[in-house]
Amino acid sequence: IFAKHNIITVFGHGGEKYNKVRVTIGEVIGTYSDYVIITADNPKSEDPLKIAQEIEAGVKKTNKDYIIIADREKAIKHALKKAKEGDIVLMAGKGPENEQIYHNRVIHHNDEEVVKKILMER
């Protein structure tokens, strides 16, 4: 991956999915990122913090800087605030989805809309 400066990655892992890959995913993301922001990605009935801690175990293996911000919108805001000219901010996992699922609640969320909103506030 070629970037002029840093790659900042925002990502999480869905709940009620194959959780044995979370450590591996964290290690891969940490390997190819300069800064990692672990966040929620449809945790469903699982505890978002528990999911984040499983991912964190993999990121720690890479000795990269990281932070856990469970609220995805706040995580994106943090990434955009941290980014400097030439950096790449990668938001992985949600794609064009329009919702976050927490237990029985479905909350409207779209990464692209969040980015546009944050950039308009600048």
Structural domains in the chain, CATH included, are 7-121 (3.90.190.20)
- Sequence length of the chain is 122
Please tell me the predicted confidence (pLDDT) of residue 17: 81
Q: Does residue 37 sit in helix, strand or coil? A: strand
Please tell me the predicted confidence (pLDDT) of residue 1: 57
pTM for this predicted structure: 0.93
Please tell me the predicted confidence (pLDDT) of residue 3: 63
Instruction: Enumerate residue ranges in the chain where pLDDT < 70.
Output: 1-3
